[in-house]
Amino acid sequence: MTNNRSIIREHSDIPAKPPLLRFTIVDLSGLAVFHRSYISEVMDELLFSGFSAAMIAFSRELGSELYSIQMEGANYFFRTKEDFILVVGMYPRVRSSSAKRFLRLVYELVNWEQLEGYLNKAIYFQTEEFMEKAEQIILDFQIRFKHLIRSD
């Protein structure tokens, strides 16, 4: 995926380790159709998107929904719609309610009816209109919650 750094990195108000660490939209096959990372730590995007899709499929197999995974250094929150999974990695001090609000804002950004008209639905998430609006939501979130990050 290209342009992972985006406009957020250019914004001087964002700390080196921001509250929103990563945001990815994955299709159920495990392909990342939109991915942004705001930290220097490298993560295999293909492995992460495949893992996310597998975890959602596993939770559905059990008759349940996966909402979050807690890890050292990051908490991951999930929201699904049709063939897509929205996954956001947050700094642990960000409350789950704030992460869920972020996912709701992106979810509401997606024009799900328009998406149905795309033969290759993944292309929708690469449109300039979607990318600009998603990055603005991310930037607003980064600025609003930057106080959670200690500047050591």
The C-alpha atoms of residue 120 and residue 112 are separated, in whole angstroms, by 14
81-109: average pLDDT: 93
Residue type, 14: I
Q: Are 80 and 86 in contact (CB under 8 A)?
A: yes
Q: What is the pLDDT of residue 149?
A: 61
Q: Please name each of the domains of the chain with its CATH number.
A: 16-148 (3.30.450.70)
* Number of other CB atoms surrounding residue 105 within 10 Å: 15
The DSSP code sequence of 60-74 is HHTT----EEEETTE
pLDDT at 7: 46
Model confidence pLDDT, tens digit, residues 63-94: 999 999 998 889 999 999 988 999 999 988 88
What is the pLDDT, as a whole number, of residue 10? 57
The structure's pTM equals: 0.84
Q: At what angle do helices 128-144 and 96-109 cross, to 10 degrees?
A: 160
32 forms bridges with which residues in the sheet?
Answer: 26
Nearest to 2 by CA among 25, 33, 26: 33
**Which residues have a Cβ under 8 Å from the Cβ of 129 and sit 6 or more positions away?**
none
pLDDT given at position 78: 97
- Burial class for 37, CB neighbours closer than 10 Å (0-12, 13-18, 19+): buried
Identify the DSSP state of 92.
T
| pLDDT single digits (tens) 3-60 | 444 445 455 566 666 889 999 999 989 999 999 988 877 888 899 999 999 999 999 9
